Structure formats: structure tokens, C-alpha cells
Amino acid sequence: MPTNITLVQGDITEQDVDAVVNAANSSLLGGGGVDGAIHRKGGPDILAECRELRATQYGRGLPTGQAVATTAGRLPARWVIHTVGPVHQGAGSDPAPLASCYRESLRVADRLGARTVAFPAISTGAYRWPLEEAARVAVETVRAADTEVEEARFVLFDQRAYTAFAAQIG
């Protein structure tokens, strides 16, 4: 079923959705940007679950393009879906791992039974993916996904990111 794509400018930690997606790093042990905000606001339970996942399933870290869920601590959401975006390597960087983040996050959402999912602009911060291309990959991938998720909400932190995503949605 095609999902309904919505856009908001705002903070992903404030979204009242079933699941929020975290632009995590492969350690799953926290970082800056979205990751820092989610752990700060969600509290220590999320990190405790991430440590458990590291210890039991992802000793070498969560691979780029994959996704895994924890509960959401004090966030309004029920779950956090952690995914690891690719670092941009300059011109010609392969967008497939970035597309995989969106696809795998929706797959995890389906497994959880999440019907509303909020995504940040994965890889467009510390991982330096050009915003226009990241927005194109994000929107195309979510549009093409076969999922039970009813709303995929892109949550853009600033005006520039919002404009880039809005241009892709048309």
C-alpha cells in the first residue's frame, strides 16, 4: 500500500507518532545531531536497550543501511528505529545504502505494527550528504515502498532542508 507522505519543519523528538527514526551511527551508543537529541530527550532506557543490542546482536556495530528498533523512553513515540546512514564520499557516492535506510526502517515499522513513522533527513548532517540528492532518494524510496505504514512524516529541522524535501514532493 502506498504510504501518505507528509512534511513538517520541526524537531523529531516532539513528534507524536508510533515510531521515530534515528540517524544513528553504527556503534548505537549515541552521537550528535538527531541521535543526541533522541537520547537526551528520551532518557537512559533507550541507550540501555542499544547497549543490549550491541552486546547480543551487533557486536561489530549496526551495518550501514540496516535498521533496528528500541522502545522510545520518554519520547511521545512508542518506538525508536535506529538506522545508520552512509557517509558521503564525494561525487559519485552510491545512494543505495541511503535508500536502504528508508526501506529497512519501514520494514522494521511494519514488523512492529507502527502506522505513523517520522523520519529525519538521514545522512544530511554530520554525514554530509547533499540535501537535494538526499531528499530525492528519501522521497523516491518511501514512495516506492510496499508498506502498511499509513503516514511517513519527514521532519526537517531547518528551512533549507524543508524546501529541499518540499521540492521533491511537488
The footprint of ligand ADP (CB under 6 A) covers: 11-13, 23, 32-35, 37, 85, 120-127, 155, 157, 161
Residue (89 or 148) nearer to ligand ADP, CB: 89
Contacts of 48 (CB under 8 A, 6+ apart): none
Contacts of 56 (CB under 8 A, 6+ apart): none
Q: Is the dihedral of CA 79, 123, 103, 119 positive or negative?
A: positive
Minimum distance, C-beta of residue 50 to ligand ADP, in the bound complex (Å):
15
Residue (2 or 18) nearer to ligand ADP, CB: 18
Catalytic residue among 35, 94, 146, 158: 35
**126 Rama sector, left if φ>0, alpha if ψ -120 to 50, beta otherwise:** alpha
Counting Cα atoms < 13 Å in the Cβ hemisphere of 156 gives: 20
3-state percent helix, strand, coil for the chain, nearest multiple of 5: 40, 20, 40
Residue (11 or 148) nearer to ligand ADP, CB: 11
Minimum distance, C-beta of residue 140 to ligand ADP, in the bound complex (Å):
18
Report which secondary-structure segment, H or E, holds 79.
strand 79-84
Helices (H), 13-158: 33-42, 44-56, 96-112, 131-144
Residue (70 or 123) nearer to ligand ADP, CB: 123
Minimum distance, C-beta of residue 123 to ligand ADP, in the bound complex (Å):
4
Minimum distance, C-beta of residue 131 to ligand ADP, in the bound complex (Å):
7
Catalytic residue list contains 35: yes
Active site residues: 35
